Amino acid sequence: VATFDKILVANRGEIACRVMKTCKKMGIQTVAVHSDVDSSAVHVKMADEAVCVGPAPTSKSYLNMDAIMEAIRSTGAQAVHPGYGFLSENKKFAKRLTAEDAVTIAQSIGYPVMIKASAGGGGKGMRIAWNDEETRDGFRFSSQEAASSFGDDRLLIEKYIDNPRHIEIQVLADKHGNALWLNERECSIQRRNQKVVEEAPSTFLDPVTRKAMGEQAVQLAKAVKYSSAGTVEFLVDSSKNFYFLEMNTRLQVEHPITECITGVDLVEQMIRVAKGYQLQHKQEEIPINGWAIESRVYAEDPYKSFGLPSIGRLSQYQEPLNLRNVRVDSGIQEGSDISIYYDPMISKLVTYGATRAEALALMEDALDNYVIRGVTHNIPLLREIITHPRFISGDISTSFLPEVYPDGFKGHQLDRGRCRELLASAAALYVTSELRAHRVLGPQRVACSTVESSSWELCVELGKELHNVSVTKLGNTFTVLVDEEKVEVSGDWNLASPLLPLTINNTQRMFQCLSRAASGEMVLQFLGTSFKVRVLTKLGAQLNSYMPEKVPEDTTSILRSPMPGTVIAVSVKAGDTVAEGQEICVIEAMKMQNSLTAVKPAKVKSVHCKPGETVGEGDLLVELE
Q: Which helix (H) or strand (E) holds 533?
A: strand 529-537
- Give yes or no for a cis peptide into 611 (omega within 30° of 0): no
Nearest to 166 by CA among 220, 114, 131: 114
Distance CA 229, CA 237 (A): 26
The candidate with the shortest Cα–Cα distance to 43, out of 15, 17, 63, is: 17
Cα(583)–Cα(598) distance, integer angstroms: 7
* Dihedrals phi, psi of 593, to nearest 5 degrees: -100, 140
* Cβ-based neighbour number of residue 403 at 10 Å: 12
User: CA dist 261 to 282, 324, 330, 392, 566, Å?
Assistant: 16, 16, 20, 19, 42
Number of CB atoms found within 10 A of residue 447's CB: 5
Residue 103's contacts (CB-CB under 8 Å, 6 or more residues apart) are: 132, 135, 136
Beta bridge pairs of residue 516: 522
For residue 230, what are the CA distances in angstroms to 5, 217, 250, 257, 464? 42, 10, 5, 15, 52
Kindly write down the DSSP assignment for every residue of 192-224, as one continuous string: TTEEEEEEES-SS--HHHHHHHHHHHHHHHHHT
Catalytic residue among 154, 250, 390, 416: 250
Would residue 356 show up in a list of annotated catalytic residues for this protein? Answer: no
Q: From the centroid of its chain, how far is CA 339?
A: 16
Give the span between the Cα atoms of 261 and 540, in whole angstroms. 56
φ and ψ at residue 300, rounded to 5 degrees: -140, 155
307 backbone φψ class: left, alpha, beta (φ>0; ψ -120 to 50): left
Residue 291 Cα distances to 259, 296, 316, 430, angstroms: 11, 17, 31, 41
Q: What is the DSSP letter of 496?
A: T
C-beta separation of 386 from 293 below 8 A:
yes
Query: What dihedral do alpha carbons 128, 134, 139, 141 form, nearest 10°?
Result: -80
Handedness of CA 202, 205, 208, 209 (dihedral sign): negative
Distances from the Cα of 520 to the Cα of 96, 225, 516, 539, angstroms: 58, 66, 7, 13
Q: Show Cβ contacts of residue 12 under 8 Å, excluding neighbours closer than 6 positions.
A: 34, 35, 38, 41, 43, 62
Nearby residues of 251 by Cβ (< 8 Å), 6 or more positions away? 229, 266, 267, 270
Please tell me the distance from the alpha carbon of residue 582 to that of residue 291, in angstroms, as a whole number: 47
Per-residue DSSP letters for 75-118? HT-SEEE--SSTTTT-HHHHHHHHHHHHHHHHHHH-SSEEEEET
Closest CA to 185 of 239, 284, 251, 120: 251
Q: What is the set of active-site residues?
A: 250
